[in-house]
């Protein structure tokens, strides 16, 4: 799924995707697999982006690679977090990539929006630190982007740039519609919650470097959490997501919890409008793959257990011989020398 990552992202943040034929989307997939987005024309060929995003793409060509990587990261993380659930964040070859599940205002959509905007912020910030982007940090500070500013007082954190870029690139879809529909409000909120999941989990690290290493001089900085951590945080928010409805306070429209007994959600919480389907049956029209053929855990009573996963349809049990790697010798990178070990395992698959 990685080649179509960029299109995924574009579609992820698109509530009502145009009905496009499959050929076009394959073309997109091919396009991004060719390599980096290095020419302005490429931006126009990226379907799924709205006009304002195409303009941003042209203006920030060097950042687009990171956007694509961020989308990829988001999808991988989503699939990791949902590997044991009925909906496993599977992407389709057709448009929209996540199926209609995500185009409705469900919990799952909330998660996908949040992790995507977080992924973009994360990848852009990372690219800043590795020197791939020219105008991080310093550009957005009060001191200005001249080398003088860097020499006088250093630059602001790269995360500020990453988040700001994610805000302007991802949120522009919703904002361009005037941000008044409840879907737009929900998406904007969840996008922001995704970025907050990074910002609020930044680790503060300090180094003492005074006389003889004393803490007379101490410098602190903020380090980004690993993306797995961001995924875990958002998964928790997914589990505790708040169902909301639109309400008008004065002339501004806001989302408030449907059940007024619940305490109002914060900036970091995920919100959703519609309840999710049960994801049991194969329903291509809505992009639901269904759980038949999925592996399940016989002993578990949780959602990955066969009982729940197979929606009561029962399961097959097969004895399969698997070849595993064992007594491996690893290097820190790249080289693995293992012996093949054969093992017979029971695999349960849903009917």
Partner 1 sequence: MAGAIIENMSTKKLCIVGGILLVFQVIAFLVGGLIAPSPTTAVPYMSVKCIDVRKNHHKTKWLMPWGPNHCEKLKDFDEAVSRQIEANDIVFAVHIPLPSKEMSPWFQFMLFIMQLDIAFKMDNDLKENAEITLDVSLAYRDDMFDDWKEIAHAIEIRKLKCTFGSPKTLESEGRHYDCDFLPFMEIGSVAHKYYLLNIRLPVNERKGINVGIGEIKDIRLVGIHQNGGFTKVWFAMKTFLTPSILIIMIWYWRRITLMTRAPVLLEKVIFALGISMTFINIPVEWFSIGFDWTWMLLFGDIRQGIFYAMLLSFWIIFCGEHMMDQNERNRLSGYWKQVGPIAVGSFCLFIFDMCERGVQLKNPFYSIWTTEVGTELAMAFIIVAGICLCLYFLFLCFMVFQVFRNISGKQSSLPAMSKARRLHYEGLIFRFKFLMLITLACAAMTVIFFIVSQVTEGHWKWGDITIQVNSAFFTGIYGMWNLYVFALMFLYAPSHKNYGEDQSNGDLGVNSGEELQLTTTITHVDGPTEVYKLARKEAQE
Three-state secondary-structure class, residue 337: strand
Query: Structure tokens of 184?
Result: 């737009």
From 14-22, 122-130, 245-253, 278-286, span contacting partner 1 (CB under 8 A)? 122-130
The answer to whether residue 209 forms part of the interface with partner 1 (CB under 8 A) is yes
Q: Which of 158, 170, 174 is nearest to 224 (CA)?
A: 158
Give residue for tokens 């905007």. Answer: 117
Which of the residues 226 through 245 are near partner 1 (CB under 8 A)? 226, 228
Sole binder of partner 1 in the list 67, 110, 115, 133 (CB under 8 A): 133
Q: Under DSSP, is residue 280 helix (H, G, I), strand (E, B) or coil?
A: coil
Q: What are phi and psi of 88, to 5 degrees?
A: -110, 30
- If the CB atoms of residues 20 and 141 are measured against partner 1, the closer one turns out to be 141
Q: C-beta of 122: minimal distance to partner 1 in Å?
A: 12
Handedness of CA 80, 83, 89, 92 (dihedral sign): positive
Measured from the CB of residue 184, what is the shortest distance to partner 1 in angstroms?
33
| Sheet strands side by side (includes 242-249) | 252-257, 242-249, 271-272
Answer yes or no whether residue 339 interacts with partner 1 by CB under 8 A. Answer: no
Looking at 207, 282, 298, 339, which residue binds partner 1 (CB under 8 A)?
Answer: 207
Residue placing its CB nearer to partner 1 in the complex, 59 or 135: 135
> Does 144 engage in binding with partner 1 (CB under 8 A)?
no
- CB-CB neighbours of 71 under 10 Å: 28
Which region, judged by CB under 8 A, interacts with partner 1, from 12-20, 91-99, 234-242, 330-338? 330-338
344 binds partner 1 (CB under 8 A): no
Shorter beta-carbon distance to partner 1: residue 95 or 133: 133
Our finding on whether 154 is near partner 1 (CB under 8 A) is: yes
Min dist. Cβ of residue 64 to partner 1 (A) = 15
- Contact stretch for partner 1 (CB under 8 A) within 50-58, 93-101, 111-119, 208-216: 208-216
- How many Cβ atoms sit within 10 Å of the Cβ of residue 20? 15
Q: Using CB under 8 A, which of 16, 19, 41, 212 touches partner 1?
A: 212
Compute how many residues bind partner 1; rule: CB under 8 A: 49
Interface of this chain with partner 1, residues 1 to 60, rule: CB under 8 A:
none
Question: How far apart are the C-alpha atoms of 142 and 221, rounded to whole Å?
Answer: 19
Tokens representing residue 134 in the block: 């020219």
Task: Please state the φ and ψ torsions of residue 87, each to the nearest 5 degrees.
Answer: -90, 115
Contact 103, 128 (CB under 8 A): no
Among 3, 150, 277, 295, binds partner 1 (CB under 8 A): 150
Instruction: Give the distance from CA 288 to its chain's centroid.
Output: 19
The window from 22-30, 178-186, 292-300, 324-332 that contacts partner 1 (CB under 8 A) reads 324-332
- Least Cα distance to 115 among 238, 243, 273 occurs for 238
Distances 183 to 47, 63, 150, 155, 158 between C-alpha atoms, Å: 22, 28, 41, 37, 30
Which residue in the set 328, 339, 343, 345 belongs to the binding site for partner 1 (CB under 8 A)?
328
Torsion of CA 97, 99, 105, 110, to 10 degrees: -50
- Paired residues of 341 in beta bridges: 324
Q: Which stretch binds partner 1 (CB under 8 A): 99-107, 184-192, 213-221, 313-321?
A: 213-221
151, 251, 260, 299: residue in contact with partner 1 (rule CB under 8 A): 151
Site residues, partner 1 (CB under 8 A): 80, 126, 128-138, 147, 150-155, 157-158, 205, 207, 209, 211-213, 215-221, 223, 226, 228, 325-326, 328-336
């Amino acid at each position: 799924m990685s080649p179509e990552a960029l299109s995924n992202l574009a579609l992820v943040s698109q509530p009502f995707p145009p009905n496009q034929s499959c050929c076009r989307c394959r073309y997109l997939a091919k396009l991004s697999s060719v390599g980096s987005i290095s020419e302005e024309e490429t931006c126009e060929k990226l379907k799924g982006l709205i006009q304002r995003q195409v303009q941003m793409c042209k203006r920030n060509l060097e950042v687009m690679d990171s956007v694509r990587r961020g989308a990829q990261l988001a999808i991988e993380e989503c699939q990791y977090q949902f590997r044991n659930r009925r909906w496993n964040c599977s992407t389709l070859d057709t448009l929209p990539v996540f199926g209609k599940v995500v185009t409705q205002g469900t919990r799952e959509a909330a998660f996908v929006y949040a992790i995507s905007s977080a992924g973009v912020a994360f990848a852009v910030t990372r690219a800043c630190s590795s020197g791939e982007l020219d105008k991080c940090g310093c550009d957005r500070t009060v001191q200005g982007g001249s080398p003088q500013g860097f020499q006088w007082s250093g630059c602001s954190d790269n995360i500020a740039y990453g988040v700001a870029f994610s805000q302007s690139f991802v949120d522009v879809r919703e904002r361009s519609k005037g941000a008044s529909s409840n879907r737009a409000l929900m998406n904007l909120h969840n996008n922001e919650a995704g970025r907050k999941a990074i910002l609020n989990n930044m680790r503060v690290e300090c180094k003492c470097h005074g006389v003889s290493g004393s803490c007379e001089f101490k410098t602190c900085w903020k380090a980004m959490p690993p993306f797995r951590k961001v995924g875990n945080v958002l998964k928790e928010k997914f589990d505790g997501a708040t169902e909301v409805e639109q309400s008008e306070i004065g002339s501004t429209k806001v989302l408030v919890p449907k059940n007024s007994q619940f305490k109002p959600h914060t900036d970091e919480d995920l919100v959703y409008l519609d309840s999710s389907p049960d994801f049991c049956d194969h329903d291509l029209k809505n992009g639901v793959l269904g759980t038949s053929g999925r592996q399940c855990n016989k002993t578990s009573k949780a959602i990955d257990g066969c009982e729940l996963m197979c929606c009561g349809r029962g399961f097959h049990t097969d004895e399969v011989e698997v070849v595993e790697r064992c007594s491996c010798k690893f290097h820190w990178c790249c080289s693995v020398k293992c012996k093949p070990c054969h093992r017979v395992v029971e695999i349960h698959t849903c009917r």
